Amino acid sequence: MGTAGALAMLTAFAVAHLAPTTWLAGTPTTAAPEPAAGSLIRRGYLAAAVGGAVTAALYGLATGTSVQFDYSQYLKWTLGSALPLAACAAVIAAAAPRIPVHALPAWLARTRPAIIHAAIAVAGIYLMRAALTLTAPVDLTGMEGLMGSIGAALVGVGTGLTASRGRTIRTITATGLAIGYAIVFTNNTHGALIVGYLVALTWWGVRLTAHTLQLAFPTAGAALRRIVDGRDT
């Protein structure tokens, strides 16, 4: 449920990223692009903050209603994973229009949502859940343990790629987490592995927000610069 809420927000980020990217990639006109791009960014990310959070809430409510249980526990997980990212989107919506126009293409390249990383992690989550729920005669391979370990390794790869920047650091982190997650995967630990990915996705949103604030307010303090660049070197 937490993953569903986070993915709703990630989808909203992807939609918000599309409009200004398409505008700046178009044919230049005589009009200055900054106001139009700034307006698209503000509206897009504000819509992402609201729309993603509402979608996550509706998913939690619908799930609770469909299973005829108290929906509060489902809502807690969907909103708990979506609201931090929604807050990041709201801050980006407020600050991004202040980014100098010459820096917008580089900023948009960096804000590209981590869709491939998310797809890897989701595939891993699916394999873990399948391994824990398969029972004979449905499981005809006898390899449910291997399936779960492969899924856990994929979650580790997705987590490492999402949480880090830089090719070398990503390679080391993703490889280490993949091995570690595959080793510790059990019915009791798989939930913690999923939470680890959700934390990494939230950290991605925080770093993106900090980078946006740094560009929008060049006089930002050293602490903000450490959030943006401290792990990139």
pLDDT tens, residue by residue, 114-125:
788 999 999 999
Among 96-100, 174-178, 225-229, the least confident range:
225-229
Q: Is the confidence at residue 159, as pLDDT, over 90? A: yes
Yes or no: say if 163 and 200 are a contact pair by the CB < 8 Å rule: yes
Structural domain spans, the chain: 1-112, 114-233
pLDDT tens, residue by residue, 166-200:
888 889 999 999 999 999 988 888 889 999 999 99
Question: Is the bond leading into 137 cis (omega within 30 degrees of zero)?
Answer: yes
pLDDT tens, residue by residue, 31-82:
444 446 677 888 888 988 999 899 888 888 888 777 766 767 778 888 888 9
Helix ranges (H only) for 96-166 are: 104-110, 115-133, 144-163
Q: How many CB atoms lie within 10 A of CB 2?
A: 22
Q: What is the DSSP string of 14-39?
A: HHHHHHHHHHHHS---SS-HHHHHHH
